[in-house]
Amino acid sequence: MSGDSHGGMRDLLGAYALDMLEPGRRAAVSAHLDGCAACRAELGFVAPAAELLPLADPDRASALPEPPPELGERILAGVRAERPARARAWRIRGPVAACAAALLVGFGAGAAAWHAAFVPAPVPLEGVATTAHDDGISAEAELVPHTWGVEIRLTGTGFREGRTYRATLFDGSGTAHPAGEFVGVGGDRMVCNLNSALLRQDAVGFEITDESGEPVVSSSF
Ligand SMILES: [Zn+2]
């Protein structure tokens, strides 16, 4: 039976390292290992990857990954060890290749979990009414209530090309809070994110003023 040949034993080393063989087959591999230095060396290569395989468990994908710091070194060491026998490596190292692929899949899922845990979900935009005080300008605005302050997402046309405009938010007492500046681009549609340290619950309106300090757009909310 081909499974009992040297080549057949090599194909079973991955499952052997993972302790996934039925007892009879496991005993046959053990007996072969006793008398075959090549297969013992192969097992030495497979076993470290098998130890790391639990990291690829899909049930762990929701937990934050803790990649062992030595993993990269192990993979590199395996690649280096494989290099002299490269001509036949891909034929005899099937189980190793399967382990490596499983590990990479596991870390991909871990990265997705990390992304979900640390990248904030999109926040709802709050549309607010605007009034343009310049015939050439049209503008729309939405607010983003960040934890560190309110952001104005201003979309508009007609802000004069090359001119500087200044955004100011106001709190309930009428105090001005700077929310940044931008340069007009004329007739092209412009989308501008203007940030302020004033919190959303304290903000009651904003103004966009031109270089002379005259308001060209205002909003109350
Ligand atoms: Zn052998």
Residue 73 CA to ligand 1 centre (angstroms): 27
Q: Give residue-wise pLDDT tens across range 148-170.
A: 999 999 999 999 999 999 999 99
Structure tokens at 174: 């009428």
In SS3 terms, 114-152 reads as HHHHHCCCCCCCEEECCEECCCCCEEEEEEEEECCEEEE
CA 107 to each of CA 64, 78, 116: distance values in angstroms, whole numbers, following the listed order: 10, 18, 14
Domains of the chain, each with CATH number or no CATH: 2-118 (no CATH), 126-220 (2.60.40.770)
Residue 100 CA to ligand 1 centre (angstroms): 22
User: Which of the pair, 150 or 124, is modelled with greater confidence?
Assistant: 150
Measured in residues, the chain has a length of 221
Whole-number Å distance between alpha carbons of 125 and 105? 36
What does the pLDDT read at residue 3? Answer: 45
End-to-end CA distance of the chain: 82
Residue 103 CA to ligand 1 centre (angstroms): 26
Q: Which of 173, 164, 178, 172 is CA-nearest to residue 207?
A: 178
What is the 3-state composition of the chain as percent helix, strand, coil, each rounded to the nearest 5? 45, 25, 25
Residue 39 CA to ligand 1 centre (angstroms): 4
Residue 28 CA to ligand 1 centre (angstroms): 11
Measured from the Cβ of residue 107, the count of other Cβ atoms closer than 10 Å reads 17
Across-strand partners of 132? 217
Residue 25 CA to ligand 1 centre (angstroms): 14
Q: What φ, ψ does residue 186 adopt, rounded to 5°?
A: 75, -135
Residue 76 CA to ligand 1 centre (angstroms): 24
Residue 47 CA to ligand 1 centre (angstroms): 16
The chain-wide mean pLDDT, for the chain, equals 78
What does the pLDDT read at residue 89? Answer: 44
Whole-number Å distance between alpha carbons of 71 and 217? 57
Q: Give residue-wise pLDDT tens across range 46-103.
A: 887 777 766 655 555 555 555 565 666 666 666 566 555 444 444 444 455 444 444 5
Residue 70 CA to ligand 1 centre (angstroms): 29
pLDDT band, residue 14 (cuts 50/70/90): confident
